[in-house]
Amino acid sequence: MRQIRLFTQQVLTAHSSIELEADPAHHLARVLRARVSDKVLLFNGDGLDWQGEVSLIEKRRVIVQIETGRPSVAESPLSTHLGLSLSKGERFDWAIQKATELGVTLITPLLSERVDVKLPQDRLAKKLMHWQHIIIAACEQCGRGYIPRLNKPIALDHWTKTVEADLKLVLHHHQVAPLPDAAPGSVALLVGPEGGLTEAEVDAASAHGFKRFRMGPRVLRTETAPAAALSILGSRWGDL
pLDDT attached to residue 119: 79
Q: Which residues contact 113 (CB under 8 A, 6 or more apart)?
A: 156, 197, 198, 200, 201
Radius of gyration of the chain, Cα coordinates, nearest whole angstrom: 20
Please state, for a pLDDT cut of 90, what percent of the chain lies above it: 82
pLDDT attached to residue 41: 96
pLDDT attached to residue 207: 97
> How does DSSP classify residue 151?
P
Whether the CA torsion 65, 68, 74, 79 is positive or negative: it is: positive
| pLDDT (tens digit per residue) in 46-55 | 999 999 999 9
Confidence of residue 28 (pLDDT cuts 50, 70, 90): very high
Mean pLDDT, residues 215-219: 85
**Residue 170 reports pLDDT greater than 60:** yes
Of 17-26, 171-180, 217-226, the range with the lowest mean pLDDT is: 171-180
- What is the rounded CA–CA span in Å between residue 102 and residue 225? 13
Under 8 Å between Cβ of 43 and 50: yes
Q: Kindly report the average pLDDT of the chain as a whole number.
A: 93
Closest to 131 measured CA to CA, from 101, 92, 98, 99: 92
Q: Which long-range contacts (CB under 8 A, 24 or more apart) does 181-186 make?
A: 183/78, 183/236, 183/237, 184/78, 184/237, 185/78, 185/79, 186/78, 186/79, 186/80, 186/81, 186/105
Confidence of residue 121 (pLDDT cuts 50, 70, 90): confident
- What is the rounded CA–CA span in Å between residue 54 and residue 36? 5
Size of the chain in residues: 240
Q: How many Cβ atoms are within 10 Å of 81's Cβ, its own excluded?
A: 22
Closest to 190 measured CA to CA, from 89, 119, 106, 131: 106
Question: Which residue did the predictor score with more confidence, 186 or 219?
Answer: 186
Closest to 33 measured CA to CA, from 3, 57, 7, 8: 57
Under 8 Å between Cβ of 61 and 17: no
Q: Which amino acid appears at position 202 of this protein?
A: V
Q: Which long-range contacts (CB under 8 A, 24 or more apart) does 123-132 make?
A: 124/152, 124/153, 128/152, 130/93, 131/92, 131/93, 131/96
- Widest distance between CA atoms in the chain: 60
pLDDT attached to residue 1: 55
Domains and CATH numbers, the chain: 5-71 (2.40.240.20), 79-237 (3.40.1280.10)
- Full DSSP string of 52-70: EEEEEE-SS-EEEEEEEEE
**Residue 157 reports pLDDT greater than 70:** yes
> What values do phi and psi take at 7, rounded to 5?
-95, 140
State the pairing for strand pair 16-19/62-71: antiparallel
Confidence of residue 217 (pLDDT cuts 50, 70, 90): confident
